[in-house]
Amino acid sequence: MSTDETLEQYILDHIDDEGDYLYRLWRATNVYLLRPRMASGHLQGRMLKMFVEMIRPENILEIGTFTGYSAICMAEGLQDSGRLYTFEINDEQEDFTRPWIEKSPVADKIIFTIGDAMKLVPEMNITFDMAFIDGDKRMYTDYYEMVLAKIRKGGFILADNTLWDGHVIDATYDRDHQTTGIKVFNDLIAKDDRVEKVILPLRDGLTLIRKK
């Protein structure tokens, strides 16, 4: 293993276990799906759960369900009355994801919807305390503005993949639409005085945003 891989394994050996159910979901993701790295995984999953336990949200919005790994992790941290609303636009993902969510120990806390969050969320009569953006990178600025309007004052937005494998500082990716989407989003957040923000160099970059 490389130094980075050895250090990552050291970290995983010294944090809470992800549990058997999430481990099996992670394995199934790697066996049956393309681009399994899109799933949050052990380290980020434990961090998401802890963020939820610290923030203590009543309602969480997630854009981009993929396999449901991150949704389950966040739901683990919710109080009994809390709910997580997660949206996945790719209807081909439903046959894999829905059974994993519905058979999970926290299924009663997760509302899983196949559909376009940009169209559906503004119609919801819900104010969210926390949101996790992990959808189409080309749409990040659109997601952000929509989510910011639905988040309470003092609420938190987490945006995943904001370093995008380092492509954000590599000019050879300037014509890649997803890289451009992330860079435009990062530039917007950096200048937005409506929020406080910090980027964590965790995995592919995780931006924490607090609405003032």
* Per-domain residue ranges of the chain: 3-211
Q: What does pTM read for this prediction?
A: 0.95
What's the average model confidence in pLDDT over 71-96? Answer: 97
Sign of the torsion formed by the C-alpha atoms of 102, 120, 132 and 126: negative
The answer to whether the CB of 155 falls within 8 A of the CB of 129 is yes
Task: Kindly state the tokens that stand for 20.
Answer: 């058997």
* Residue 1, token pair as written in the block: 């293993």
Contact 185, 140 (CB under 8 A): yes
Residue 57 has what pLDDT?
98
β-strand partners of 151? 128
Distance, in Å, from the CA atom of 134 to the CA atom of 64, rounded to the nearest integer, reads 5
Average pLDDT over residues 159-183: 90
pLDDT for residue 1 is more than 80: no
Among 1.10.10.60, 3.90.700.10, 3.60.15.10, 3.40.50.150, name the CATH number for the domain at 3-211: 3.40.50.150
